[in-house]
Chain A
């Protein structure tokens, strides 16, 4: 713990030791660089064909997703022809999970509330076999450019890109969406493994900037669902203020909302804290799941699956 405390701010260590029983393993994993991972883009190529083309890199399949792979030596992957023409999408392994939990189907109407840079949008587009519609939104002009570029490269014909305030867009499509993904803007503690500089910007004050917009987005996303529709709320951060507390906010405003079990065979996930800073979360929130770095060698992620009753 002494060594780790030199790397992580004391407050960071104290916060997460409260609800992660193996916090040493958590902090140790958070210090290790991430493996390079990618996803096969089935809009352009089959899994077998891509494996054949990338055989020299010896891709290892992820145990929980047959289109996701990790590489021991992945430098230069973004400079390969296979990447340029969109046969693969370089994407962090845990980031592939929220679309798999949401499980969009061909022909459905899907709202992706905070879509840039488009990793999950393009993943869902492939899951839907380029049919139906994904309304992919991001309010930032800079980030939406990256989204457009990735939609182009991945060959997504079923995506309408919008640049709007998320809650405003949610109101425009109220009650019409089969699925909604709210991969919310967050304090991105998860990116510490990818970019150790992220730790330099870490503070509780930085965390406190996000719950307000996260709560607006989760409510807007819920209202966009048709009766019987499902929403995934996810973040790449550990802070309960941005995760369980946001789902609790939704349940306080929309008590009929159902929090569903999250399960992806082969991916180890755990429930989060039952309370945080003297706020006890409703029992249903224990069905939300955390992907922790020590369990699957990924970034940390939070995933909640919510259903609007029919």
Chain B
């Protein structure tokens, strides 16, 4: 695991066991995560290996919704549990006013025990960082 990938896992208290059998790869702005076989495949140059774990900025890391959906299931910190209504509003791009026992910054949004995506919390405002596709109803 790269140093910056470890930062993502540490923010959410994800055990390094979640990374077993996986490998991270960084380019200038993105951390990707995938199996060793995917990361070491060199017969051709794929346009994408595995899934984006995070975008890298000079002073911060932005975890991705899709990376966290699959690797954030075991998160123990900076997680906000959502009810159905809250989950739908955030997935549809709205913000919520909410009191939560988490640090300001990126948080994982859980619905029914599954990671629905990533949000940004600055007490008391929770902003959705979930990419918008078709609205959920």
Interface residues of A (CB under 8 A from B): 43-45, 53, 76, 78-81, 83-87, 109, 130-133, 135, 144, 148-149, 151-153, 155-164, 169, 172-173, 176
Evaluate contact between B33 and A157: CB separation under 8 angstroms. yes
**Residues on B with beta carbons closer than 8 Å to the beta carbon of A76:** 137
A7 to B108, CA, bound (A): 52
Whether A84 contacts B91 in the complex (CB less than 8 A), given A156-B51, A158-B35, comes out as yes
Rounded to whole Å, the gap between the CB of A165 and the closest CB of chain B is 11
Out of A84, A109, A155, A176, name the residue touching B51 (CB < 8 Å). A155
A164 to B50, CA, bound (A): 17
B22 at the interface (CB under 8 A from A): yes
10 contacts between A and B (CB under 8 A): A53-B112, A84-B116, A85-B117, A131-B21, A135-B41, A155-B66, A157-B38, A160-B48, A160-B50, A161-B47
**Residues on A with beta carbons closer than 8 Å to the beta carbon of B134:** 78-79
Evaluate contact between B44 and A84: CB separation under 8 angstroms. no
**Residues on B with beta carbons closer than 8 Å to the beta carbon of A151:** 48, 51
B12 at the interface (CB under 8 A from A): no
Whether A157 contacts B34 in the complex (CB less than 8 A), given A79-B135, A80-B136, A84-B136, comes out as yes
Residue in chain B with minimal CB distance to A169? B44
Majority SS at the chain B contact face: mixed
A159 to B37, CA, bound (A): 9
Residue in chain B with minimal CB distance to A154? B70
Out of A81, A131, A149, name the residue touching B111 (CB < 8 Å). A81
Evaluate contact between A155 and B35: CB separation under 8 angstroms. no
Residue in chain B with minimal CB distance to A141? B47
Residue in chain B with minimal CB distance to A109? B37
A132-B37, A173-B43 known; 8 new pairs, CB 8 Å cut-off, are A44-B70, A81-B111, A84-B136, A109-B37, A155-B51, A155-B66, A161-B46, A161-B49
**Residues on B with beta carbons closer than 8 Å to the beta carbon of A78:** 134
Name, among B84, B112, B115, the residue most crowded by chain A CB atoms within 10 Å (CB to CB).
Answer: B112
**3 A-B pairs with the lowest CB-CB distances in the bound complex, closest first:** A155-B70, A133-B37, A160-B46
Evaluate contact between A85 and B49: CB separation under 8 angstroms. no
**Residues on A with beta carbons closer than 8 Å to the beta carbon of B44:** 162, 164, 169, 172-173
Interface residues of B (CB under 8 A from A): 21-22, 33-35, 37-38, 41, 43-44, 46-52, 66, 69-70, 84, 87-88, 91, 111-112, 114-117, 133-137
Evaluate contact between A158 and B37: CB separation under 8 angstroms. yes
A130 to B22, CA, bound (A): 10
Rounded to whole Å, the gap between the CB of B26 and the closest CB of chain A is 16
Evaluate contact between B111 and A162: CB separation under 8 angstroms. no
Rounded to whole Å, the gap between the CB of A161 and the closest CB of chain B is 4
Out of B22, B35, B48, B69, name the residue touching A85 (CB < 8 Å). B69
Evaluate contact between B137 and A157: CB separation under 8 angstroms. no
Evaluate contact between A81 and B48: CB separation under 8 angstroms. no
Evaluate contact between B88 and A157: CB separation under 8 angstroms. no
Out of B48, B50, B69, B137, name the residue touching A79 (CB < 8 Å). B137
Residue in chain B with minimal CB distance to A130? B35
Evaluate contact between B115 and A85: CB separation under 8 angstroms. yes
Whether A157 contacts B115 in the complex (CB less than 8 A), given A79-B137, A81-B87, A173-B43, comes out as no
**Residues on A with beta carbons closer than 8 Å to the beta carbon of B35:** 130-133, 157-158
Evaluate contact between A43 and B70: CB separation under 8 angstroms. yes
Name, among A84, A87, A109, A153, the residue most crowded by chain B CB atoms within 10 Å (CB to CB).
Answer: A84
Rounded to whole Å, the gap between the CB of A46 and the closest CB of chain B is 11
Rounded to whole Å, the gap between the CB of A260 and the closest CB of chain B is 26
A164 to B69, CA, bound (A): 29
**Residues on B with beta carbons closer than 8 Å to the beta carbon of A81:** 84, 87-88, 91, 111, 116, 136
A155 to B71, CA, bound (A): 9
A249 to B129, CA, bound (A): 51
Residue in chain A with minimal CB distance to B35? A158
